[in-house]
Structure 1
């Protein structure tokens, strides 16, 4: 079957080729009625636009790069779902890359995406310092950047995430309200988001006149997933040896939550009878754990959708040479109380 062209559509509708092209690009120059007529005809006849030809003409690739730490993390997979849904609606393609919590790998991801001529990059940065200057240079040139999830930096762009301090403080309070006092907080080493969650944890303790105990803090190297379980296990054995086992654990990321609940089961430590557990987790199966997990879940899909929409906003405003007012958007996280506390 012959591929339908702009000329074919123009001839069928008795319109000019430029009119057809502008309408399919959603140009404001074309009247709504005409645009709807053209789009309907194109859909009915399975028209596929020539991405290469369009990129040569416009200087745009209609490709957005996305960098996350790992796609195996349910939180990031839900963000990607939101990005993809929005990108399909806007007729953009997505290239997904993984930083694996490593600044050097993140830098390579950025380099590769930029070399491929992406129109912009959506990123959850490894930290609030690594590669930030490089990202700012790209953002102020021809490759806009939108940050999602890890929004604790001074980058002047759109940033979309949650109020991490507030969510962590609320989670800690849930434990304190149930008379847990010796709470082990398991968090990351350099991730700025986990630092904010640590502050929220400490503020809740202080508000309830509970002294923060450094021995009840474990910082794990999230860039080396293979040793995280050993770090957690070693900490629990150390506390057991000192007869200072916690009565509750608060984990600061999906990865740490999943690893901790597995280790407690492996060590035959009963939840919540011996140690209660609450943690950040966006898994859809928290209810099926034994016992069902009390978790802080983030509006991941919505974060992804908004991040992509803000990228399109930047691209459109730059094309029209209009001023862009950037903002940081903090959505609310949810806490679902289940039997683990």
Structure 2
């Protein structure tokens, strides 16, 4: 689907440049035209002295942005798919290095491409309805949009756990792991935006005035178990550690991983482990090398079919088991991407 005029609404209010993701029926899924329009607006506003900060938020209450609009890939083919990711990743890098405060008001589901247009900004304000996740292994993909930089920098092995399982985090957990910088309840988001747009106080003071304590983070209570299992030296060892633990948490995680693409899990494990030592640009270029080869890999097309198109939730992964994933196949995905280099400027 191409962007319509209303898919993203770009406007000025007071000292703000405003981005409204406006596809609520599609959970504000990010299509190609939206990425290009947001990038163009951000570049214009970066030079506008009247714009002091950017706010990005959503229309509707269910989702900030549930991810990239990947269903269109099956219609438009591999060349479009690669161009989509190329432009999306350039937008992610622009947000990360943006010279002005970039404030995401995240209220509801935020996954995949939605993480890419929020997590790399200076402020991520999460409501009590936030549901943060990177569930790409469920559709035969890998955590991308800079997630291979973001996830490994979460406490302990929590990032690897999230990247492999796609587990969702609420407000307290999102703040605890570093995705959220502040918590403001849904009822207070309009007042926060009005203060940012028209108030005379510095941006930080306005946000601090509205921010609230999100409460205790349940995921921190699970961190010891997560670190013990996901701190193993290989993905096979992670699975063995979970299998040997009769506890409810380990068995639940093991059941989840048994439904994920084995190839995607192997790619994700290596991507996130190596991402600990890499700069943001290096991480996103490695992601680009992997996703640019996804047309060679049946699991992505099959995952999109099973979970997003036919919705039978019965993907037929190839190969179906982790011990059948060949190391040379995984290594090929980590070779430099073919064709023109990824331009992040």
Q: TM-score, length-normalised on structure 2?
A: 0.24
Give the structure with the higher percent strand.
1
Task: Give the TM-score, by structure 1 length.
Answer: 0.24
